[in-house]
Structure 1
Amino acid sequence: MKLRRRHRDHQPSTLTHPASVRVGARTLTLPDAVCASFAVTGYPREVGAGWLEPLLTYPGHLDVSLHIEPIPQQVAAMRLRRQLARLESASRADAQHGRLADFAAEAAADDATELADSLARGHGRLFKVGLYLTINAATEPELAAEVERVRALASSLLLNAQPTTFRALQGWTTSLPLGVDNLGATRTFDTTALAAAFPFTSPDLPTTAGETGVLYGLNATSSGVVVWDRYAQDNHNSVVLARSGAGKSFFTKLEALRLLYQGVEVAVVDPEDEYARLARAVGGTCLRLGASEVRWNPFDLPASHSPRDDVLSRRAMFLQTLIATMLGGTPLSAQARATLDSAIIATYAAAGITRDPATWTRPAPLLTDLVTTLTGKKGAGQAGTELAAQLAPYVTGSYRELFDGPTTTHPAGHLTVFSLRDLPEEMKAVGTLLALDAIWRRVANPRNRKKRLVVVDEAWLLMKQPEGARFLFRMAKAARKHWAGLAVITQDAADLLSSELGQAIVANAASQILLRQAPQAIAAVGDAFDLTDGERQFLLTAERGEALLVAGPANRAALTIVASPTETILATTDPKVLAELDQHDQPHPFQPHDAQPPSPPDFTEITTTSQTDNEESESQ
């Protein structure tokens, strides 16, 4: 019978039978994948604990198979005696013929002597060990690329991985969990070397990066990179704790900038105007609360809402939280809360706004209207008069400017920064609450769902107010349901960890980043995050830009934050660097260096108000 050889180009590229396998010289084609196997034939002379961890944490589809077979004690002793005899004979022959000493042979003889002594004392055993790698990919071009990467990784570990040429099927079956070594490419290991091959611990985090994975930095204890995706965790929240000057704002700006690359919408509550340069660079919007003629009316109803939502009731409850914060953060008594609630509803009714959704588009009342209602409403009594007197500074006194008129603008865009630097210190907690309320309206809009990040810098300003802390806690609990992450940044660990609400916010943050801590706070931080003694010492001695990422008991990594020169210019808050940039008239990092950098056309810095400016801002 004459067999006709089919031309290689005419062979089908895919398998027609679901259980068929095509065996090649070096590859094996499965119904839905292509794989190639390798046997490790060369090993380094010395290894450390967990030296196989880089192979086991390889981000691609790599099967690592380790076959172990103990060698009987008598056989092991006999083989060691023969090996020592050969090495000793070779050494004497070299000496007799005047040849230079073979240092590799001398080192091998010393190792064999130590091993023989260990076996004789019963401190160890010998094992035949076979290490095999099987690489899987969807197509042959992808397989070729994966093979190059895996062999390069093996070479970096001083492992010599050879392909199983003409034994592809045996290599594949050897990598399956069958306990059968069909290749037999073994090497003798002692107990210590074999124990070091088991990766009981790893300095690297598991690969969980998805579409929005962000480079945090370089692992401080290994050669790997730390790429973290907050949106791939159980919840999307994070907590950043550090002493002043440790780099917490720098790190937060880097993450926000890199998330903007991924299409994530970012909103920032900025107490010290540190994010304005970043907003200017990426064409964001900066709203300066407290600046001249900037107005913010907390009575505004959200423009977008579900017909089933009782927007008026929700707005009344937020106003109670806001007014309690205005009055110093002391929780309102039951009588004062009831009086305030009825006055808020009456104020809306006086403006023609009721529970009928058709009335929600009418102009909202102002804070001064609420004070008028409290002083003139029948039945308000002493409680209403006291509330009106306490709100007087925000209506007719020193703090009236922010609330003295309708809202001047409604900022929107891919990056929105609420700057609070122009507010007096006594007003910053109120400003933070107003900014978070405006952000939450946008986050909770069911008609505009997308990945968002809400950054609250210097959160201790709000956490020291009980009502503000409750609002932040509710936001932390509900952010995941709206595809948003809440990033809480603070330098005062005591304000965050000393209260039950603060501890709850930490517990609801799947990503926790700790930078250098003060000795006075390390005990509270260590107990709250269950840090080991080594981790506590690391945080006490960490340099600027060194951090500890904590994502549960098993996922922890010490890292060094890295940034490009352009990112450093945008994120730095070092006064010396900023002074040098101003002195040399440093151009915009995204503009040519030979031209005066104009402000990006789509950047909106809201410091004045007019009808024309408002319309232009909304159109942008």
Structure 2
Amino acid sequence: MLLGEGAAASFVVTGYPAEVGHAWLEPLLTYPGRLDVSLHVEPVPPKVAADRLRRQMARLESSNQTGAEQGKLEDFESEVAAADARDMAASLARGDGKLFRVGLSVTVHAASEEELEEEVGHVQSLASSMLIDARPASYRQLQGWVTALPAGVDLLGQRRSMDTHALSAAYPFASPDVAVETSPTAVLYGLNADSSGVVVWDRWALDTYNTVVLARSGAGKSYFCKLDLLRSMYAGVTAAVIDPEDEYTRLTDAVGGTTIRLGEPGVHLNPLDLALDRTATRDALSRRALFLHTLLAVMLGGPLGPRQRAALDQALIATYRAAGITADERTWNRPAPLLADLVATLENEGDEHGRDLAVQLAPYTTGSYNELFRAPSTRRPSGHLVSWSLRALPDELKAVGTLLALDAIWRGVADAAPDHPRMVLVDEGWLLMAEPEGAKFLFRLAKAARKRWVGLTVATQDAADVLGSELGKAVVANSATQVLMRQAPQAIDQIADSFALSDGERQHLLTASPGDALLCSGQRRVAFQVVASDTEHALVTTNPAEQFTNPDDSARNPDDSTGLDTDTAEEDDLL
């Protein structure tokens, strides 16, 4: 049949193998030429299926008995058909499966009639090797071509009865490499690098929901994380993101999320604020005090000594008391003191360790780092996607900003009802894990996430530092889903030892192209290529040449001035 500038030929499958394995249609689906495979499925009502099977068994038994009475040789095909019918009837009676009417057809395309003849020969040979009897749709080529279109119309009407097990084995998206049951929260990761099948993964069906992504710069790590985030939100997952380079803003705006740009003028986050703990059933004041010990250790670049911790604890109690906040939860709604108030208390305590802490904290209260801490928190973050952008923060404050954002996220999650899955994505997690106290905080979150139906995703390009510390290894060990992308030669030995990689997997990670990845989960391994639709690609790409091709996108350039006055810019930063 001539079709546009090419030619096409349709075939209908009339014969099937007696037994099939999983994904037995894979050879047809991965055929190197252009081949449309159409599988039409029609469920048969249980009562109708039982009546048909009963008549079929009676007909086969009668045929075999008549042949035996007439002295004919035993018909082995009839015996096998009768046995299959009995097994199918028993499965139907037990409720283990159902009966379906299935039609399978293929349409071969080529540029010319001569090439079509050659392609038809290859397809028929392939079908024969699969024990499939594919007959030309004679005088019905137009109907065959329409049947292969994604319209759900079967004009050929050549059907075959199959039970649930046989049909599921023929399902086009079956993957023999990663055996994962599909579910509403499963996410398409990409195409299988070995079989060209799809890799669909459900992190929420594993014993822990955490994911770790390790890759060198430029390997497509953030691209994959943004795709995973976007597709998870399709399934009703709410999320919060810590974004060091303002890469998630375009995606956040597209889905109606909230972007909080720490470090921008007018955007403040008070670490002493109790607002996010109003619904807490435990002592919010004590939890704030314990967190501030961690925060100050990250601010000052090292753990506090015993005397410094004691001085800080006394100063915290005194600072909150001066603001009218005590252990009585009725006082927690009062305005919280600022970091400057805590520093003033440390200076006035008369303890030399407290005064030493006050001197070290001066840059955060009166110096060049005070913008983030000099006023009460601008607003409480909320929404189905909240992105904490750290691009405007100086490098010296990136770890502090990551810790503050992660703390604010976790305070909102810890006391919320676990009524749906939530994702917390920490991009460039090495910023926090480079600090010992920050690594401890992240490890605690990784351990506690599962109990609250939260999946923590940590993505980092500094794999050697992560795997070189005990806390880093613990975070990786508490992640049931591990995604490895291209690695640097200097780090591959440590990666190979930590994940027990084979020589082939090791070489794959050294030579992987951007978007190539290796999914590891226990003993299951699969290499895949990250793929995105055009719409998704426009939202997740960080290639400047692609981002600013559209003039409308130039307004989202993080280096451009908004041209707004201070009050308006402050509100836009938060919305």
Normalising by structure 1, report the TM-score. 0.66
Question: Against the structure 1 CA distance between its residues 342 and 56, is the aligned structure 2 distance closer, same or farther, given a 3 Å change threshold?
Answer: farther
Q: Does 1:268 align with 2:241?
A: yes
Question: Against the structure 1 CA distance between its residues 288 and 613, is the aligned structure 2 distance closer, same or farther, given a 3 Å change threshold?
Answer: closer
Q: What is the alpha-carbon distance in structure 1 between the residues aligned to residue 104 and residue 525 of structure 2? A: 26
| Residue equivalent to 1:558 | 527
| Residue equivalent to 1:232 | 205
Q: What is the alpha-carbon distance in structure 2 between the residues aligned to residue 161 and residue 317 of structure 1? A: 72
Question: Against the structure 1 CA distance between its residues 542 and 354, is the aligned structure 2 distance closer, same or farther, given a 3 Å change threshold?
Answer: same
Question: Against the structure 1 CA distance between its residues 155 and 473, is the aligned structure 2 distance closer, same or farther, given a 3 Å change threshold?
Answer: farther
State the 1:203 CA deviation.
Answer: 5.8
| Residue equivalent to 1:40 | 17
| Residue equivalent to 1:370 | 342
State the 1:609 CA deviation.
Answer: 7.5
Structure possessing the higher radius of gyration over alpha carbons: 1
| Residue equivalent to 1:536 | 506
| Residue equivalent to 1:479 | 449
Which whole-Å deviations, capped at 9, do the CAs of 1:1-56 have from their partners, x for residues lacking one? xxxxxxxxxxxxxxxxxxxxxxxxxxxxxxxxxxxxx97359xxxxxxxx944259
Q: What is the alpha-carbon distance in structure 2 between the residues aligned to residue 493 and residue 454 of structure 1? A: 20
Q: Partner letter of residue 557 of structure 1?
A: V
Q: Does 1:459 align with 2:432?
A: no
Q: Is the 8 A contact 2:276 2:411 kept in 1?
A: no
Q: What is the alpha-carbon distance in structure 2 between the residues aligned to residue 397 and residue 249 of structure 1? A: 34
| Residue equivalent to 1:501 | 471
Q: Does 1:327 align with 2:300?
A: yes
Q: Is the 8 A contact 2:449 2:456 kept in 1?
A: yes
Q: What is the alpha-carbon distance in structure 2 between the residues aligned to residue 508 and residue 148 of structure 1? A: 46
Q: Does 1:585 align with 2:551?
A: yes
Q: Does 1:527 align with 2:504?
A: no
Q: What is the alpha-carbon distance in structure 2 between the residues aligned to residue 304 and residue 285 of structure 1? A: 20
Q: What is the alpha-carbon distance in structure 2 between the residues aligned to residue 440 and residue 532 of structure 1? A: 37
Q: Partner letter of residue 40 of structure 1?
A: P
Q: Does 1:144 align with 2:100?
A: yes
RMSD after superposition: 3.8
Q: Partner letter of residue 446 of structure 1?
A: A
Q: Is the 8 A contact 2:241 2:427 kept in 1?
A: yes
Pairing partner for 1:160 from 132, 135, 150: 132
Partner of 2:17: helix, strand, or coil?
A: strand
Which whole-Å deviations, capped at 9, do the CAs of 1:315-366 have from their partners, x for residues lacking one? 10011101110001x1111111111112111111110100001111100000
Which whole-Å deviations, capped at 9, do the CAs of 1:506-562 have from their partners, x for residues lacking one? 000000001111111111111111111110011111111110000112x11000111
Q: What is the alpha-carbon distance in structure 2 between the residues aligned to residue 307 and residue 495 of structure 1? A: 35
Question: Against the structure 1 CA distance between its residues 367 and 536, is the aligned structure 2 distance closer, same or farther, given a 3 Å change threshold?
Answer: same
Q: Is the 8 A contact 1:236 1:510 kept in 2?
A: yes
| Residue equivalent to 2:322 | 350
Q: What is the alpha-carbon distance in structure 1 between the residues aligned to residue 435 and residue 287 of structure 2? A: 20
Question: Against the structure 1 CA distance between its residues 481 and 398, is the aligned structure 2 distance closer, same or farther, given a 3 Å change threshold?
Answer: same
Which whole-Å deviations, capped at 9, do the CAs of 1:572-602 have from their partners, x for residues lacking one? 11122224x2xx41579xxxxxxxx99xxxx
- Unaligned runs of at least 5 residues, structure 1: 1-37, 43-50, 61-128, 163-167, 176-201, 589-596, 599-604
| Residue equivalent to 2:179 | 206
Q: Is the 8 A contact 1:39 1:132 kept in 2?
A: no
Question: Against the structure 1 CA distance between its residues 335 and 611, is the aligned structure 2 distance closer, same or farther, given a 3 Å change threshold?
Answer: farther
Question: Against the structure 1 CA distance between its residues 221 and 335, is the aligned structure 2 distance closer, same or farther, given a 3 Å change threshold?
Answer: same
Question: Against the structure 1 CA distance between its residues 149 and 355, is the aligned structure 2 distance closer, same or farther, given a 3 Å change threshold?
Answer: farther
State the 1:302 CA deviation.
Answer: 3.8
Question: Against the structure 1 CA distance between its residues 137 and 529, is the aligned structure 2 distance closer, same or farther, given a 3 Å change threshold?
Answer: farther
Question: Against the structure 1 CA distance between its residues 565 and 369, is the aligned structure 2 distance closer, same or farther, given a 3 Å change threshold?
Answer: same
Q: Is the 8 A contact 2:315 2:345 kept in 1?
A: yes
| Residue equivalent to 1:391 | 361
Q: What is the alpha-carbon distance in structure 1 between the residues aligned to residue 211 and residue 84 of structure 2? A: 40
| Residue equivalent to 1:86 | none
Q: What is the alpha-carbon distance in structure 1 between the residues aligned to residue 460 and residue 221 of structure 2? A: 8
Q: Give runs of aligned pairs for residues 276-295 of structure 1, distance below 5 A.
A: 276-295=249-268
Q: Give runs of aligned pairs for residues 7-18 of structure 1, distance below 5 A.
A: none
Q: Does 1:252 align with 2:244?
A: no
Which whole-Å deviations, capped at 9, do the CAs of 1:157-199 have from their partners, x for residues lacking one? 723399xxxxx9xx99x99xxxxxxxxxxxxxxxxxxxxxxxx
Q: Is the 8 A contact 2:276 2:408 kept in 1?
A: no
| Residue equivalent to 2:12 | none
Q: Partner letter of residue 382 of structure 1?
A: E
Q: Does 1:569 align with 2:538?
A: yes
Pairing partner for 1:491 from 458, 461, 481: 461
State the 1:260 CA deviation.
Answer: 1.3
Q: Is the 8 A contact 1:269 1:455 kept in 2?
A: yes
- Unaligned runs of at least 5 residues, structure 2: 1-14, 27-40, 42-79, 108-125, 135-160, 167-174, 557-561
Partner of 1:453: helix, strand, or coil?
A: strand
Q: What is the alpha-carbon distance in structure 1 between the residues aligned to residue 534 and residue 92 of structure 2? A: 37
Q: Does 1:298 align with 2:271?
A: yes
Q: Partner letter of residue 451 of structure 1?
A: P
Q: Give runs of aligned pairs for residues 171-182 of structure 1, distance below 5 A.
A: none
Q: What is the alpha-carbon distance in structure 2 between the residues aligned to residue 270 and residue 248 of structure 1? A: 13
State the 1:286 CA deviation.
Answer: 0.7
| Residue equivalent to 1:180 | none
Q: Partner letter of residue 268 of structure 2?
A: R
Q: What is the alpha-carbon distance in structure 2 between the residues aligned to residue 573 and residue 137 of structure 1? A: 53
Partner of 2:380: helix, strand, or coil?
A: coil
Q: What is the alpha-carbon distance in structure 2 between the residues aligned to residue 491 and residue 612 of structure 1? A: 33
Question: Against the structure 1 CA distance between its residues 617 and 418, is the aligned structure 2 distance closer, same or farther, given a 3 Å change threshold?
Answer: closer
Question: Against the structure 1 CA distance between its residues 258 and 492, is the aligned structure 2 distance closer, same or farther, given a 3 Å change threshold?
Answer: same
| Residue equivalent to 1:107 | none
Q: Is the 8 A contact 2:298 2:438 kept in 1?
A: yes
Normalising by structure 2, report the TM-score. 0.71
Q: What is the alpha-carbon distance in structure 2 between the residues aligned to residue 243 and residue 203 of structure 1? A: 29
Q: Is the 8 A contact 1:459 1:489 kept in 2?
A: yes
Q: Partner letter of residue 144 of structure 1?
A: F
Q: Partner letter of residue 440 of structure 1?
A: W
Question: Against the structure 1 CA distance between its residues 52 and 447, is the aligned structure 2 distance closer, same or farther, given a 3 Å change threshold?
Answer: closer
Partner of 1:144: helix, strand, or coil?
A: strand
Q: Is the 8 A contact 1:203 1:557 kept in 2?
A: no
Identity, in percent, stands at: 54
Q: Is the 8 A contact 2:270 2:373 kept in 1?
A: yes
Q: Give runs of aligned pairs for residues 41-190 of structure 1, distance below 5 A.
A: 41=18, 52-54=21-23, 143-144=99-100, 147-148=102-103, 158-160=130-132
Q: Is the 8 A contact 1:271 1:428 kept in 2?
A: yes
Q: Partner letter of residue 411 of structure 1?
A: P
- Corresponding pairs, count: 448
State the 1:204 CA deviation.
Answer: 1.1
Question: Against the structure 1 CA distance between its residues 472 and 150, is the aligned structure 2 distance closer, same or farther, given a 3 Å change threshold?
Answer: farther
| Residue equivalent to 2:332 | 360
| Residue equivalent to 2:192 | 219
Partner of 1:513: helix, strand, or coil?
A: strand
Q: Does 1:436 align with 2:406?
A: yes
